[in-house]
Structure 1
């Protein structure tokens, strides 16, 4: 009995010990957790907070890119993505998939059958509507809403938008729509400045996700990207884009590049290329190269202005000295003038400059300067180094400098190759009294949140290759290229303004490196001009690669169609008026920087005054007094430009057909109404009929078409009767072709023959002609 009792006590003690041990371990663990607040490496406070706290991202906005006047060229805007609710248990759902697909498919670029199948799916609450329903503009969203289809909903999201469409596209570059990648141009080069930093908002909530009465919010504010202001002038750029589009459609060249620069500062006021692209439609880009900075070409005779400058600076140029034009021997090769090597007999060097004689400039280099001195000026004008312009992917020159032949042909623009921006930088030395200015396109970078500029550009000298006296004499000589009796630059004359410049007809190396392309118009035609010649403010360089010219046209035709309007517009916005007669002087005085204040006049007086100044008045309203105007008083306009006049009466819609996008924007700004547009070019359609009252609410919506698109539309609307006339004409052409079958093909030069450009020059003709001819034999090292 005693033994049993003892055993029971022992078991009880053991059990008590075990229980006590477990209790002690548990208590120790509780104390550990209370003190350390951690279980299996996880912080208990964080776990509890995560269950009751939610975090939402706060979006930072990408910086805007502006032109020099503050007009947005690239900006972040709100876009809309459409989706469809197809669950029949939900009140607002697609009721008739077939009808909805029929109405909606044209607006989202999806086949009707495919869309109907999408909307007819079972066991789905909602469906996305494809890429055509994403990133919609407000006008596109409103067009879908007008269909009044039950079940169509929208979500809002930011996207990158380029309001001017095809506009300085290679300068701006682009991002993808949701701005997750910066792929080209300034968008990529300045991505660190433009890119925002997102923030977040954290707050406490209950199990249903509803914020608590004391949510304990923690806000990490987002930081918007910095804004970038360019030197680009939208007025000049607009004229440049329009002129280049016209030439591109008319002459179908291989490519075009053009640069407009402030001669005093190096600011780039305009820059464009063809082919170009609309950054809003970046999937269709075919040309990613900014030819102005990333493509080097043999400059042709535009190079002669720098050879001339070197000769004058060295004191070895005598314009009245004569030489025998036509041909010139260098080592084992022969230089030829562009008229099949015939030349113009014995002429002086000034006439050789006007006629763009290759022989004259080869002799200047080899007999006057010497190869070493010539190449020292190549260095001084900055041709061996990139300019350092603030655009990505700038390439450098390729200079042939191994012997006298290289020096001789480089002196008139062959063998060595440079980028257009290198040529423009060098030209600033001639325009700016010897001081060469570094080109730049970014004026300043502004941090809106801190309200300060984080970067401000200043004009920067790139050297002084020549003296002010030499620069002045070079400009005087180059002015005769445009106005002189024998000048090849006559098509670049602008009434009332003296232009100094040099034409160029550059050859193009073949793809296999065996020599130059041969055949009619297988050249790059160019012009480098500055104005006014006595004290240039503007430099314009234009190069057109292999345009399709008809038999009566020279290479200057497409180039001048870009250069002339751009130079005129640029000088106008620099407040430089042509020197014309008294009547025209009054026009430009009145329409210069001190534009007339029409708001002090009656409607009739304003119309008469505007017309007397050569402006085109657009009166908006039926009142008798002018209340506002655009451009405002004090702004700069040119003769032939529209002046928008708002009266005190009801606003009446004008006929906008043929207006430029710039005019349309001014009109919408005058009325303080949003403008929405599609396409590029000129206005072809408008949502408010002409002569109708303009409603207080709503936007002005227009459709733009290029001249080529307009011509195609007109051709499609022609009567079928015209087709029979065309058929008859085609039959006649076929008969003529049959009759010419026996003609021999044009013979190509055999080895050892002197190769010539396929150009002809009429001594009596007023238009310019292509200048250069290649070498008789082109050594491999000069290519």
Structure 2
């Protein structure tokens, strides 16, 4: 082959390569500018890909609350938020159009599943406003966020064009109501973008339970999902701590059932129950009625917990503490008797002495009687406690126990002060023994107010031979 012929072949090869290269470059430039292939005129981009990079909080898993046997009381669960796709360019995974074609019909179908939780007119307004604003998609507001899986499946069955779901989380209480005022509830906070405690232990333990949210970046498709392979973790989420309570679910269920029955059958305004191990202080059941559904918590009848935050005049359950004071100060009148019918009395302010008067004697103070003005006759003080005699208490406080001793013992038993039970909201009550009538009345459970939690702690001192233990639930 001559040199000239070789050069011609080389020139042809270079020309062909140059032409091919030019066409490739032109095709690439055309595609970059138009986002279409030069020959087929089809889009070169996945139509699902949105143009923005999304930075999103990664929600930390909220800790689970268990009973003493690790039965779940409260847990984080999967939920779903409804989203409406409004852009005609939105397609499903098969490339078929997937947008809301009829707003009114869509709202009506959603209402048929979600019921009273949503307002049909509000759904229509939200979708029309979003479409007018040029939004490709929109959430639908109240009643459509963090819905249960069962509702999500019902909506899917309707095959409503343009309706999809975004993964979300919610708080779930399997056995609600379950000591609702003590355990409380947690709900998703839109501002903080996490589940936050709103009442009870869920609130007081919030810092431990909630953990710390992380952050991630990813490219978003038009249907709101992540484009695979584009996720970048900026900050790792730290899950919250689990909490184990002393409550026993079987016993708690029994208590809930009985209190519910009491409220209904007796037409009661309130009822409460606490079950505690006297030697350890472990609370096995705790319930306060009226109660509420912790999964719904739309209407909470009372923010007061009858066990720890409601104060009341406890009545005759205070009498053993008056007897205990007399016994512990060595003034209890063993083998002595008293007249149990009506305690008429006078008070000498100069000496602080209360003197019993004959029945019917004029006095500035009202007489004190036993329930239903019962007359047990002349009985021993042991019998007085067995009969729950108010007059026996008055005799002890007037003739055996002095004022300062009684005041000191009320404090020693832990009344009118906070019980050292961690994370539980508490009230103090009122120590009202300044006047002689209030002093005597406090001895049989009137005039002064306490909490049930204080009462339980005080009784452990009696049942444990003087050793008082603290009630606790965690």
* TM-score (norm. length: structure 1): 0.46
* Aligned match of 2:156: 145
Q: 1:374, 1:407 within 8 Å by CA — same for their partners in 2?
A: no
Q: Which has the larger radius of gyration?
A: 2
1:229-266 Cα offsets, whole Å, 9 max, x none, are 11111111111111111111222322222211111111
1:399-437 Cα offsets, whole Å, 9 max, x none, are 123254433221111111111100000011122232110
Structure 1 residue 301, shift from structure 2 partner: 0.6
Q: Kindly report which structure 2 residues correspond to 1:189-228, keeping only aligned pairs within 5 A, or say none.
A: 189-201=204-216, 220-228=235-243
* Aligned match of 1:93: 99
* Aligned match of 1:294: 309
* Aligned match of 2:169: 158
Distance (Å, rounded) in 1 between the aligned partners of 2:368 and 2:228: 86
The secondary structure found in structure 2 opposite 1:350 is helix
Residues 335 and 386 of structure 1, relative CA distance in 2, 3 Å threshold: farther
Q: 1:366, 1:404 within 8 Å by CA — same for their partners in 2?
A: no
* Aligned match of 2:380: 348
Distance (Å, rounded) in 2 between the aligned partners of 1:218 and 1:86: 30
* Aligned match of 2:465: 433
Q: Kindly report which structure 2 residues correspond to 1:64-463, keeping only aligned pairs within 5 A, or say none.
A: 64-88=64-88, 90=90, 91-95=97-101, 97=103, 99-109=105-115, 110-112=118-120, 115=123, 123=132, 125-178=136-189, 179=194, 181-201=196-216, 220-318=235-333, 320-331=335-346, 332-442=364-474
Q: 1:170, 1:272 within 8 Å by CA — same for their partners in 2?
A: yes
Instruction: Please report the RMSD computed on the Cα atoms of aligned residues, expressed in angstroms.
Output: 3.1
Distance (Å, rounded) in 1 between the aligned partners of 2:434 and 2:462: 27
Structure 1 unaligned segments of length 5 or more: list them: 1-51, 443-783
Structure 2 unaligned segments of length 5 or more: list them: 1-51, 91-96, 221-225, 347-363
Distance (Å, rounded) in 1 between the aligned partners of 2:413 and 2:266: 33
1:420-477 Cα offsets, whole Å, 9 max, x none, are 10000001112223211011111xxxxxxxxxxxxxxxxxxxxxxxxxxxxxxxxxxx
Q: 1:298, 1:418 within 8 Å by CA — same for their partners in 2?
A: yes
Residues 438 and 113 of structure 1, relative CA distance in 2, 3 Å threshold: closer
* TM-score (norm. length: structure 2): 0.73
Q: Kindly report which structure 2 residues correspond to 1:619-658, keeping only aligned pairs within 5 A, or say none.
A: none
Distance (Å, rounded) in 2 between the aligned partners of 1:293 and 1:216: 48
Stretch moving more, 394-403 or 316-325 = 316-325
Structure 1 residue 268, shift from structure 2 partner: 1.3
Residues 420 and 143 of structure 1, relative CA distance in 2, 3 Å threshold: same
1:343-389 Cα offsets, whole Å, 9 max, x none, are 22222223322221100111112212222222222122122431121
1:585-644 Cα offsets, whole Å, 9 max, x none, are xxxxxxxxxxxxxxxxxxxxxxxxxxxxxxxxxxxxxxxxxxxxxxxxxxxxxxxxxxxx
The secondary structure found in structure 2 opposite 1:176 is strand
Distance (Å, rounded) in 1 between the aligned partners of 2:265 and 2:231: 67
Q: 1:325, 1:345 within 8 Å by CA — same for their partners in 2?
A: yes
Distance (Å, rounded) in 2 between the aligned partners of 1:280 and 1:107: 18
Residues 211 and 379 of structure 1, relative CA distance in 2, 3 Å threshold: closer
Structure 1 residue 79, shift from structure 2 partner: 0.8
Distance (Å, rounded) in 2 between the aligned partners of 1:149 and 1:54: 27
Q: 2:170, 2:195 within 8 Å by CA — same for their partners in 1?
A: no
The structure with higher relative contact order (CA 8 Å, sep 6+) is 2
The secondary structure found in structure 1 opposite 2:298 is helix
The secondary structure found in structure 2 opposite 1:333 is coil
The secondary structure found in structure 1 opposite 2:441 is helix
Structure 1 residue 296, shift from structure 2 partner: 1.5
Distance (Å, rounded) in 1 between the aligned partners of 2:247 and 2:310: 21
